[in-house]
Structure formats: C-alpha cells, structure tokens
Amino acid sequence: MNLTIDTIEQEGFYQIKVAGELDVATVPQLQEVLVPIRSAGTHDIHLHIDEVTYMDSTGLGLFVGTLKELNKNNKELYVLGVNSRIERLFDITGLKDLMHVNQPVEGE
C-alpha cells in the first residue's frame, strides 16, 4: 500500500498528515519528510495519523528517533488521531509515557 503525506508549515510547528500503512516499506517516505524538519530544530511536529491503517515497529522507531532529535532543541512531537489498535502499540512499548499521544494541542 502507498503512503500519503501532506505537510503544512504553521507558526511554530509543522502539521503532517499521514495516510496508509506505515511499515518497513513506507517508513523511508515519511523519514524523508521528518528528517530535515527535526534536524533544523526550529519547529514542533504535529503528526496526524488518524488515516494510518497499520503501523509496525519501524514506524515506532522513526517516531522515537524524531522525538530524540526534537528534544535536543526543546521541541516536541505530538502524535494525534491515533486509533485504539495503534495506541495499544504505544501503551505496550511504553512510548505513550514519552510522547504526546492523542493529547490536546494549542493552536490547532
């Protein structure tokens, strides 16, 4: 399956909407978008994944790498629109305690 990624730069953050399956085959597409943003360290990232139908550990790994890079510059990663099945992955791995998962965000 393909992955669709829409990026909008807002004041202080990037809003990134992802749709499709996020797995070993498609993570490089999202990585291409995230790496320059997180490396610049100037914006938070609001990652909307409500249209992601499947995600494996490769996707989680990308989120962890993004979070670490953003935190170096006091920036945040918000993962929004997480369905119950994918939210369970965040719970099981303990990542829900490290990231802003389905938490309200100011400015949206």
Q: Given this model, what pLDDT does residue 1 score?
A: 65
Contact 107, 15 (CB under 8 A): no
Q: Given this model, what pLDDT does residue 107 score?
A: 60
Q: Given this model, what pLDDT does residue 106 score?
A: 66
Q: Given this model, what pLDDT does residue 42 score?
A: 92
Q: Given this model, what pLDDT does residue 2 score?
A: 87
In whole angstroms, give the CA distance from residue 5 to residue 17: 6
Q: Given this model, what pLDDT does residue 51 score?
A: 96
| pTM metric for this prediction | 0.90
In whole angstroms, give the CA distance from residue 28 to residue 13: 22
What are the residue ranges in the chain where pLDDT is below 50?
none
Q: Given this model, what pLDDT does residue 108 score?
A: 60
Q: Given this model, what pLDDT does residue 103 score?
A: 80
